[in-house]
Amino acid sequence: MASKLAINSTIRLARSGIEMPLLGLGVYLNQDSKPACLAGLKNGYRHIDSARMYYNEAQVGEAVRESGIPREQIFITSKIANDEHDYDVALAAVDDSLKKFGFDYIDLMLIHSAMSDKQHRLATWRALIEAKKQGKLRSIGVSNYGVKHLEEIRQAGLEIPDVNQIELQPLNQQKEIAEYCKKYDIVIEAYAPLMRTQWNHPEILETAKKYSKEPAQVLVRWSLQRGFVPLPKSSDPARVVTNAKVYDFELSPEDIARIDSLDRGKEGTITWNPVDVD
């Protein structure tokens, strides 16, 4: 599989049945995201990951329109903010995001985190199910959900998420969550796949040198070959382009295993990673 990967490679989401591009462009902390989005779209990206709390949905929508690429060829994600957990509030948030993007539908809407309580999480999830039925969302999922939060949905007898977006990089490989998601055909999107440039590890630097690649490219390739959907982010258009140049090489099983060995579990967290909230 790995050697056949290309920038237009996709994965089919189990519940919605739609295809999601394997490589996404993250726009977190980029409130001037249009240049990065336009550079990405011009150079093959077809997946952009935004969120209501990023405050750049309007810019992403403008970039999609200015790109000249048909809307249906671009996969757009957003996320319900942590203070929008409730049925009516979440439904209103979906409508507001559609307005900000200037779209008729959003390809994937996630609950940004589990940071409320069981009652509000499930009410928000029911709202996303309803918005999907109404055709406003093509697929639905969650972000920063641990096994406990995923089990709440399953035990409530509700539709299982198509996606769980979590911090996942060599230092924090989220093995328990990853095993659960694999069991229930939940695609894992990996945010912070570039480790926020914390690359000073021989396992990464020596591998990059071996393949004549940058550490960021090795990390994106590692994530793809591990079966995740990486969401590298950059506000630098040139960096956006180089981060995607990962389809002319393949990491050997030995190199994958060497990078795998960096896992420190939760001690390797480099972002907020709220997967253990009550």
What domains, with CATH codes, occur in the chain? 10-263 (3.20.20.100)
Look at residue 3 in the predicted model and tell me its pLDDT: 54
Contacts 24+ apart (CB under 8 A), 234-237: 234/36, 235/29, 235/30, 235/32, 235/33, 235/35, 235/36, 236/36, 237/35, 237/36, 237/38, 237/39
Look at residue 32 in the predicted model and tell me its pLDDT: 87
From the annotation, which residues make up the binding site for substrate?
A: 112
Which residue in the list 28, 45, 54, 247 is annotated as catalytic?
54
Q: For the chain, which residues score pLDDT lower than 70?
A: 1-3
Look at residue 196 in the predicted model and tell me its pLDDT: 95
From the annotation, which residues make up the binding site?
A: 112
Q: Is 45 a catalytic residue?
A: no
